[in-house]
Amino acid sequence: MQDKWIALSNTTIGQLMATINTSIIIVALPSIFIGIHLNPMVPSSFPYLLWLIMSYMIVLSVLLVTIGKLSDIFGRVRIFNLGFLIFTIGSILLYIAPGTGYTIALELIIFRIVQAVGGAFIMANTFAIITDNFPPRERGFAISINSVAAVSGVSIGIVLGGVLATIYWRDIFLVSIPVGIFGTFWSFIKLKDKREKSTQHIDIAGNIVYALGLIILLLGITYGITPYRNNPMGWTNPFVITALVIGTAMLLFLPFIEKRARSPIFDAKLFKSRNFSISIFTAFVSALGMMGLMYMLTLIFQGIWLPIHGYKYSVTPLWAGIYMLPLPISMGIFGVLSSKLSLRYDPRWLTTAGLFISAFALLALVELTYDFSYVFLSIVITVFGIGYGIFNVPNLTVAMSSVPPSERGTTSGVLNTMRNAGYTASIGAFFSILILGLALYYPGAITTALSNENAVSLTAYFSNIPPTEILFSTFLGLNTVKDVLTTVPPGVISGVSSNTISTITGHHWFPETIAPAFMTSMHDVFYVGFGITAIAGIISLFRKPIENSEKVKGSNEK
């Protein structure tokens, strides 16, 4: 097998494995908490719930740029191989983690962080290794295959996690072990570095400031969606405000440190390239929109559409992943197709067209009602996937081809950082809109619904449910009503007829009660998604023509 195909197969397996694990845990959380004997809706359990979801993405976001720089210095394949090993060790530790309750919950978070470190080693090098091994005319196709794996991995993780969690919760970690062992040995034996190691040095001060600044900023965003005192969100929490201010200040101060560094984290001159800067910015916006759409669709399916169509809460996470499959499938098909189109057309027009297609698909989703036609939704998300597929590969190819070979590891890390930062930011931004809408409209809706069922005595217990709890219980496929009724004194419940209890704990009542508030907020999310994606499309128009510069770069590399 030629070296380039070995490189593509290795990096694609690694990218797929790393991205599957960004989402595989989400749908398996109910099984995990049952397995470790912990109630996820108890307030003291919420931080563990949040960190099991967020720790992996935050670590990826923080480490990717630094690991990319280390790869330029010590060798991309060496760091990539080490990533497979660390990821496999993390997966094994997750599978065998002992204990119950908060002890094992903390262990799982720590081992998820270990797994994420390995994932960062892998993801920081995939685009760079492909670029090193493929000539310019084949590079777009190779990146498209790898990019399809990265995008599809999120959806595959949701479906795979739902299937495995129904068997045994530890199996969601077991599935990565044989793949990790195979990838570790195969990449060590077969994968070869195509470039000499750089003589650059590590910028210790810059890396510390960058890592701490990004960690603190992402912590602020993460805790911004958690309740604070009597507020449905934590944006007024002094800790959140301080974290946002300090994290932003440290990142803004970073360029001044880098000016004095002998070997900065990345060459600031790269940002003087219009194509590079636009590629980085649009990568962030597109990732924010794509992951935001994935989260919103998951909530719509699990919280409203699937329950009112008779699906049990325990299986809604699995079916949500299945019903969303048109999205990654269309992304994959048109991602590969766009790599061919970029050889004939200026990638500027492809990236711009892709962003506008995705933007107007988001705008079309404003027409969704809570009892929507799945045919309509599947068409719209397919169109979104087409737009994202047309945009993503040319954008990545332009970014990787606009930097010198010595900076490809760093650039690969920056691209993946922006994507993962977009994933994390989408939670803070779009969930905040949803939580605000539910906080405004939910109390009145639940009061009216309980009054209609002659269950006014339950109003005080239901009207005080934090919007965050509604969203996360929805995300976990839990029946919120049954969870609330466990807190109601027996004397109060005895005053409510059994028929009423049966009605409000059924599949229809609560989803239909929250649907108006939920969909109003969801429409606001889609308007925001349309706006930022359309702006990114306009900015993408200002790229320089790429075709001629690509030919020159390709001839120089040869």
- pLDDT tens column, 156-212: 887 788 788 778 889 999 989 998 899 888 888 888 876 655 556 677 888 888 889
**Is residue 101 domain-shared with residue 247, that is, in the same domain?**
no
Q: b vs e for 93-126, b when ≥16 Cβ sit within 10 Å of the residue's Cβ?
A: bbbebeeeeeebbebbbebbebbbbbbbbbbbbb
Residue 432 has pLDDT above 90, yes or no: no
Token pair recorded at residue 330: 């269309």
The answer to whether residues 223 and 95 belong to one domain is no
User: Distance between CA 437 and CA 53 in Å, rounded?
Assistant: 23
Answer yes or no: do 175 and 210 share one domain.
Answer: no
Is the CB of residue 351 less than 8 Å from the CB of residue 545?
no
> Do residues 47 and 166 both lie within one domain?
yes
Question: Looking at the structure, do residues 176 and 208 belong to the same domain, yes or no?
Answer: no
Nearest to 349 by CA among 546, 530, 531: 546
Rounded CA gap, 116 and 190, in Å?
24
Query: 253 is written with which tokens?
Result: 């101060």
First to last CA, the chain: 21
Confidence of residue 137 (pLDDT cuts 50, 70, 90): confident
Angle at 493 between CA 488 and CA 496, to 5 degrees: 140
| Structural domain contains residue 102 | yes
Same domain, 135 and 102: yes
CA neighbor of 123 nearest in space, from 148, 139, 146: 146
DSSP secondary structure, 143-178, as one string: HHHHHHHHHHHHHHHHHHHHHHHTT-TTHHHHTHHH
pLDDT of residue 96: 95
Same domain membership, residue 218 and residue 174? no
| 73, two tokens | 């210095």
User: Do 73 and 13 have their domain in common?
Assistant: yes
Closest CA to 136 of 409, 402, 388, 337: 402
In this predicted structure, the answer to whether residue 386 has a pLDDT above a threshold of 90 is: yes
User: How much is the pLDDT for 533?
Assistant: 94
Whether the pLDDT of residue 543 is over 90: the answer is no
Of 232-241, 291-300, 546-555, minimum mean pLDDT range: 546-555
Domain count, the chain: 3
Cα-based distances in Å from 537 to 280, 387, 424: 13, 11, 21
CA atoms within a 13 Å half-sphere pointing along the CA-CB vector of 281: 20
pLDDT score of 551 more than 50? no
The tokens for 191 are: 């994968």
316 inside domain = no
Do 251 and 157 lie in one domain? The reply is no
Does one domain contain both 26 and 144?
yes
As beta bridge partners, residue 46 has none
What is the widest separation between alpha-carbon atoms in the chain? 82
- Residue 508 DSSP label: S
Contact 62, 214 (CB under 8 A): yes
Residue 121 resides in a domain: yes
CB atoms within 10 A of CB 259: 9
User: What pLDDT, on a 0 to 100 scale, did the predictor assign at position 554?
Assistant: 41
Domain annotation covers residue 445: yes
171 within a domain of the structure (yes/no): yes
Q: Is the confidence at residue 25, as pLDDT, over 80?
A: yes
Report how far residue 72's alpha carbon sits from residue 131's, in angstroms, rounded to the nearest whole number.
13
- Nearest by Cα to 370 from 479, 504, 511, 527: 511
User: How confident is the model at residue 552, as a pLDDT?
Assistant: 37
Are 401 and 136 in contact by the 8 Å Cβ rule? The answer is: yes
- Above pLDDT 90, what percent of the chain? 25
* Tokens (6 digits) for 520: 């109003």
Residue 434, class by beta-carbon neighbours within 10 Å (0-12 exposed, 13-18 middle, 19+ buried)?
buried
With a CB cutoff of 8 Å and minimum separation 6, the contacts of 106 are 48
Clarify whether residues 78 and 158 are in a common domain: yes
Lowest mean per-residue pLDDT among 123-132, 196-205, 391-400, 517-526:
196-205
Res. 328 pLDDT band, cuts 50 70 90: confident
Output the domain CATH number for residue 48.
Answer: 1.20.1250.20
11 lies in the same domain as 114: yes
d(CA 226, CA 233): 5
Residue range of the domain that includes 231: 203-262
* Average pLDDT of span 62-79: 83
- Assess if residue 48 is contained within a domain: yes
Say if residues 80 and 122 touch (Cβ distance below 8 Å): yes
Closest CA to 179 of 272, 273, 115: 115
Distance of alpha carbon 206 from alpha carbon 199, whole angstroms? 18
Q: Of 192, 227, 253, which marks where a domain is finished?
A: 192
**Alpha-helix runs per DSSP H in 191-231:** 204-223
Indicate the pLDDT class of residue 556, thresholds 50, 70 and 90: very low
479: confidence class by pLDDT, cuts 50, 70, 90 = confident
Q: Note the residue count of the chain.
A: 558
Chain segment 218-249, per-residue pLDDT in tens = 888 878 888 787 787 888 999 999 999 999 99
Nearest residue to 416 (alpha-carbon basis) of 271, 279, 529, 540? 279
Domain boundary among 240, 262, 284: 262
Q: Is residue 528 part of a domain?
A: no
The answer to whether residue 63 sits within a structural domain is: yes
In the listed set 192, 214, 239, which residue is the last one of a domain according to the structure? 192
Query: Chain centroid to CA 230: how far?
Result: 29
| Adjacent-strand bridge partners of 220 | none
Q: What is the mean pLDDT of residues 353-372?
A: 94
